[in-house]
Amino acid sequence: MKILNVNQLRECDQYTIRNKPIFSINLMEKAAKSSCEWLIKNINPNDDFVIFCGNGNNGGDGLALARLLVQNNRKVKVVVNYGKKFSKDAVTNLQRIPETIPIIDACDFSTTELRNSTVLIDAIFGIGLNKNIGQPWENLINEINKLPNRIISLDLPSGLSPDADKNSIVFIKANDTLSFQFYKKIFFHPETGIFCGKIHVLNIDLSPSFIEDVVVDAYVADELEIKKIYKSRPEFSHKGHFGKAVLVGGTYGKTGAILLAGRVAARTGAGLTFINAPECAYSSCLMQVPEAMFEFSGIKEVEHINYIEDGEYGIGPGFGKNEIARSALENFLRSHSRPVVLDADALAIFSTHLNLLSWVPKDSILTPHPKEFERIFGLSASSFERLELAKEIAKKYQLNIVLKDHHTQIILHTGEVYYNISGNSGLAKGGSGDVLTGIITSLLAQKYSPKEAAIFGVWIHGKAADLALKNQAKESLLASDVIESVGKVFNYLSK
């Protein structure tokens, strides 16, 4: 799914109005109807609503929603600001409000009158806010945020902007956001996403032709995108059709990292899996990953990286960070021309030997978490700035960067960004990154392109963690649990 900026979101609305054709008031009705259907389905029938409606079109959505909820036998109150002029469509919906719905001026409303079970609907400001909110809404929003009530925002929490640099200093802290037609970029960054709660994208029938033609550089890696990438396994095939995944690392004391990467590479479908590790890892590999072939790289350290003809390499889990490891990595990079996956200790070497990045094969995949990225490329003031820096680095070195986070960002050297929406906080644990490296390497071996391997690999990783929660809690989830759930992911896709 494409992510549109604020100007494109407005253009999409206007294009739909002109070409569908449809009146703007009817488009507003569609947004209200979708919201009403969601609320009827998800909110207890005995709970009442207070809808805070601004003076613009987001407020118009809320006013239309109030009428529809009452038609569905729900109790509703509306809060508006009579001190400012309403938009044309908001006025129309204000005039359509039945007399049975109490309308209270925001200056007179007191939150002390609310029951804890009352659901608060935020329809104060929509996507167009580009300044501070002002009174009386500023004080009221601060009061609302202190309440224990469930808060649901229409389109996005008031005070936030789809373009992250235009946020107000005061904004709603929602439990749920009912986003119209699209995800917004701010949903996926920790500084703003934490205030959006659970995201629910509602279809309001905006123009498919506009959506298809509009040019963007940011996408959501949703299931529709994943199904375009996924290649089902043909019946008449043999192991030679699915490539060779070579995992490199496993120095003394870090054998577990390479075992996790090797196990999941085989589980993800590589035809042959090789573990290139020191002799100290040999017995563990034989016992725990019998499907893999072992390639000696030294005694206790990775002294060299063995050449496997047509192998696709994932380097870093337990690789080591000393001079011996640096030399082995440099020698390999200078002689290898196909894309590789680089993680963990391999990235740590770049933090002290940045010049080695120029030897990394074009279209390779780096998988840093925020601290690893910071150690290599420097500190950023926010995740938004870090993303922009990552885009510059990806373009400069012609690399793909998997920037791991709650919503991992896959930054392609073309400038495109894909936000991943699978996964959960159970992945915030040692070993998760090693598993991701093994998955992506396995997909490269199976002839997925680096772009496909990065996007699909991150999604598989997160989806496996989600499915693993059927038997585990987020606190108890282990990297090995994720590996065991990879098969469930492919079963899910095949259906």
Q: From the CA atom positions of the chain, what is the Rg in Å?
A: 26
Q: What is this structure's pTM?
A: 0.95
Amino acid at 357: L
In SS3 terms, the chain reads as CECCCHHHHHHHHHHHHHHCCCCHHHHHHHHHHHHHHHHHHHCCCCCCEEEEECCCHHHHHHHHHHHHHHHCCCCEEEEECCCCCCCHHHHHHHHCCCCCCCEEECCCCCHHHCCCCCEEEEECCCCCCCCCCCCCHHHHHHHHHCCCCCEEEECCCCCCCCCHHHCCCCCCCCCEEEEECCCCHHHHCHHHHCCCCEEEEECCCCCHHHHHHCCCCEEEECHHHHHHHCCCCCCCCCHHHHCEEEEECCCCCCHHHHHHHHHHHHHHCCCEEEEEECHHHHHHHHHHCCCCEEEECCCCCCCCCCCCCCEEEEECCCCCCCHHHHHHHHHHHHHCCCCCEECCHHHHHHHHCHHHHHHCCCCCEECCCHHHHHHHHCCCCCHHHHHHHHHHHHHHHCCEEEECCCCCEEECCCCCEEEECCCCHHHCCCCHHHHHHHHHHHHHHCCCCHHHHHHHHHHHHHHHHHHHCCCCCCCCCCHHHHHHHHHHHHHHHHC
Q: Which residues of 218-242 are buried (b: 16+ CB within 10 A; e: fewer)?
A: bbbbbbebbeebbeeeeeeeeeeeb
Other Cβ atoms closer than 10 A to 77: 18
Report domain extents, the chain. 6-216, 227-494
pLDDT for 166: 65
Whether 227-494 and 6-216 are alike in CATH topology: the answer is: no
Under CATH, to which class is 227-494 assigned? alpha beta
Tell me the backbone φ, ψ of residue 434, rounded to 5 degrees. Answer: -65, -40
Digit-coded pLDDT (tens) for 346-374: 999 999 999 999 999 999 999 999 999 99
Q: Burial of 426 by CB count in 10 Å (0-12 exposed, 13-18 middle, 19+ buried)?
A: buried
Digit-coded pLDDT (tens) for 394-407: 999 999 999 999 99
CB 235 within 8 A of CB 462: no
Q: Which residues of 379-404 are buried (b: 16+ CB within 10 A; e: fewer)?
A: ebeebbebbebbbebbeebebbbbbb
CATH number of this structure's domain 6-216:
3.40.50.10260
Show pLDDT as tens, one digit a residue, over the chain (495 residues).
Answer: 999 999 999 999 999 999 988 999 999 999 999 999 999 999 999 999 999 999 999 999 999 999 999 999 999 999 999 989 999 999 999 999 999 999 999 999 999 889 999 999 999 998 877 677 888 999 999 999 999 999 999 999 999 988 876 677 889 999 999 999 999 999 999 999 999 999 999 999 999 999 999 999 999 999 999 999 999 999 999 999 999 999 999 999 999 999 999 999 999 999 999 999 999 999 999 899 999 999 999 999 999 999 999 999 999 999 999 999 999 999 999 999 999 999 999 999 999 999 999 999 999 999 999 999 999 999 999 999 999 999 999 999 999 999 999 999 999 999 999 999 999 999 999 999 999 999 999 999 999 999 999 999 999 999 999 999 999 999 999 999 999 999 999 999 998
pLDDT for 152: 98
Write the CA distances from 494 to 463, 470, 485, 491, integer angstroms: 14, 20, 15, 5
Question: d(Cα 164, Cα 166) in Å, to the nearest integer?
Answer: 6
